[in-house]
Amino acid sequence: MVLDDLGTSLRGTLDTLRGKSRVTEEDVDKVVKEIQRSLIQADVDIALVQDLSSRIKERSLEEEPPGGTSARDHVLKIVYEEMVGLVGDSTDLPLEEQTIMLAGLQGSGKTTSAAKMAWWFSKKGLRPAVIQTDTFRPGAYDQAKQMADRAEVEYYGDPDADDPVQIAREGLEATSDADVHIVDTAGRHALEDDLIDEIEDIESVVDPDRNLLVLDAAIGQGAKDQAQQFDESIGIDGVVITKLDGTAKGGGALTAVDQTDSSIAFLGTGEEVADVERFEPDGFISRLLGMGDLRQLAERVERAMEETGQSEDDWDPEDMMSGSFTLKDMQKQMEAMNNMGPLDQVMDMIPGLGGGLMDQLPDDAMDVTEERMRDFDVVMDSMTDEEMEYPRAIGADQIERISRGSGKPEERVRELLQQHKMMEQTIKQFQGMGDGDMQRMMKKMQQ
Ligand code: GDP
């Protein structure tokens, strides 16, 4: 996640203000230094960081905190407001007929983002179509088609054509019954003149309502030039930041937003079509600052429930919070969790859990891919009730029998048991939180 450690380090610094009713210049300097360090490390443009820090400093010292507000809350509020100001509002995307064109370098995630956005619009009740005009990258047609199929949206491309402008024109005609057209364009490894010429030609035919620049979160200072050139040639209305599920820093993308005077439209958080979030400045910054974003989490939970056909009655977090955690529980939780998205992303949204807890677990502890889950399901089908209840008692002989019965390697059975242990350990930590955040949040989600 972007600026991952900002929340943690900032919270530490802000905590030193606890109990104080007034902030001193020295206090503010400490906070500002922490923010500068994180932002610069995350590749945010230096000039931008300096602007932001002087505003935070000025406001913290000059503005009078409302009566009863602690120094800590006063500074936190200003930091929050200024950070929201830095990322800006999300790109305006009315839920109506429109054409969106995507620009960006090869590998930035355009094709994937086109399908994700189409999926997102379809969930909002619109009828999107993806038009693939990339004739440069050999696999583009098939990849985009596969993704559009997964998103269950209309698709147009022509693997035999070599004129992107013609594909765009024909694509718009062929998909005229769709209401949202998402036009994917070719990228190159670097910005070259012919790429700019091509995208200008496509734009003149497509006449998009919005041009979105797709940027890999890993992009650093290069984002500035790229954003500037695309902005000069076609005008950029918004940015899609992809691969935020990785270790990328994302700051370059913030620089691009500033450079193009645009805003962030979507965030990409994985390789599947559903791994997309509409950018919400408040939620994003709350998460960044480690405050948690309950609304996003609640939406995901709702969606997951719809998809698994579970009613709220079946979902009983209380069960999970009390007593033992069996393989049967794990089976249920994995299904729901997987529909919400990777567990670590879900965790990031929970107040007080972002970062900290996850850092204590091995990197792959939460890596429950769909394929592994399907295997786990098959493995569990070959277990006895007793084994499901008391997985810790399963020994080598049983592993061998389960493996034979399920047709899955013993390795998979062991992985499942390992995964169960890790989840059990995580749940125990939640339980350790007593009546704290987690339980309150779970209850809230049930309402
Ligand atoms: P394009 O060349 O700009 O069209 O980029 P692609 O859409 O083909 O994406 C390049 C690679 O990045 C592919 O392997 C995608 O699966 C991957 N990718 C795209 N978006 C994301 C994302 O949000 N998270 C992750 N982990 N991978 C992504």
* Residues in the chain, overall count: 447
Q: Kindly compute the dihedral angle of the four CA atoms of residues 5, 11, 13, 15, in this order, to the nearest 10 degrees.
A: -160
Q: Is 243 annotated as a binding residue?
A: yes
List of domains in the chain: 4-87 (1.20.120.140), 98-288 (3.40.50.300), 294-446 (1.10.260.30)
The interface predicted TM-score of the complex, written ipTM, equals 0.99
Ligand 1, atom nearest to 108 Cα: 3
Q: Indicate whether residue 242 lines ligand 1 (CB < 6 A).
A: yes
Q: Indicate whether residue 269 lines ligand 1 (CB < 6 A).
A: yes
Tokens of 206: 């497509």
Q: Indicate whether residue 245 lines ligand 1 (CB < 6 A).
A: yes
Output the 3-class SS for the chain. Answer: CCCHHHHHHHHHHHHCCCCCCCCCHHHHHHHHHHHHHHHHHCCCCHHHHHHHHHHHHHHHHHCCCCCCCCHHHHHHHHHHHHHHHHHCCECCCCCCCEEEEEECCCCCCHHHHHHHHHHHHHHCCCCEEEEECCCCCCCHHHHHHHHHHHHCCEEECCCCCCCHHHHHHHHHHHCCCCCEEEEECCCCCCCCHHHHHHHHHHHHHHCCCEEEEEEECCCCCHHHHHHHHHHHHHCCCEEEEECCCCCCCCHHHHHHHHHCCCCEEEEECCCCCCCEEECCHHHHHHHHCCCCCHHHHHHHHHHHHHHHCCCCCCCCHHHHHCCCCCHHHHHHHHHHHHHHCCHHHHHHCCCCCCCHHHHCCCHHHHCCCHHHHHHHHHHHHCCCHHHHHCHHHCCHHHHHHHHHHHCCCHHHHHHHHHHHHHHHHHHHHHHHCCCCHHHHHHHHHHC
Q: Indicate whether residue 112 lines ligand 1 (CB < 6 A).
A: yes
Stretch among 140-149, 154-163, 324-333, 370-379 having the lowest mean pLDDT: 324-333
Out of 106-115, 298-307, 435-444, the most confident range is 106-115
Pairing verdict, β 210-216 and 128-132:
unpaired
Q: Is 108 annotated as a binding residue?
A: yes
Q: Is 140 annotated as a binding residue?
A: no
What band does 240 get if pLDDT is binned at 50, 70 and 90? very high
Given a cut of 50, is residue 392 above it in pLDDT?
A: yes
Q: Is 428 annotated as a binding residue?
A: no
Q: Indicate whether residue 133 lines ligand 1 (CB < 6 A).
A: no
In whole angstroms, what is the distance from residue 415 CA to residue 327 CA? 13
What band does 3 get if pLDDT is binned at 50, 70 and 90? low
Q: What is the pLDDT of residue 306?
A: 61
Q: Which amino acid would we find at residue 48?
A: L
In whole angstroms, what is the distance from residue 30 CA to residue 16 CA? 10
Q: Is 426 annotated as a binding residue?
A: no
Q: Is 208 left (phi over 0), alpha (psi -120 to 50) or beta?
A: beta
Angle at 225 between CA 140 and CA 1, to 5 degrees: 70
Q: What is the pLDDT of residue 434?
A: 45
What band does 115 get if pLDDT is binned at 50, 70 and 90? very high
Could you tell me the distance, in angstroms and rounded to a whole number, from the CA of residue 274 to the centre of ligand 1? 13
Q: Indicate whether residue 150 lines ligand 1 (CB < 6 A).
A: no
Whose C-alpha lies nearest to ligand 1, atom 10?
107
Digit-coded pLDDT (tens) for 74-111? 787 788 788 878 888 889 999 999 999 999 998 999 99
Q: Indicate whether residue 355 lines ligand 1 (CB < 6 A).
A: no
Q: What is the pLDDT of residue 37?
A: 85
Q: Is 245 annotated as a binding residue?
A: yes
Q: Kindly compute the dihedral angle of the four CA atoms of residues 42, 186, 120, 159, in this order, to the nearest 10 degrees.
A: -150
**Given ligand 1 and candidates 242, 245, 272, which is best to mutate, with the most ligand atoms within 8 Å of its CB?**
242
Q: Is 440 annotated as a binding residue?
A: no
Nearest to 106 by CA among 238, 195, 2: 195
Q: Is 183 left (phi over 0), alpha (psi -120 to 50) or beta?
A: beta
Q: Indicate whether residue 225 lines ligand 1 (CB < 6 A).
A: no
Taking a C-beta distance cutoff of 8 angstroms, is the pair 114, 144 a contact? Answer: yes
Q: Indicate whether residue 107 lines ligand 1 (CB < 6 A).
A: yes
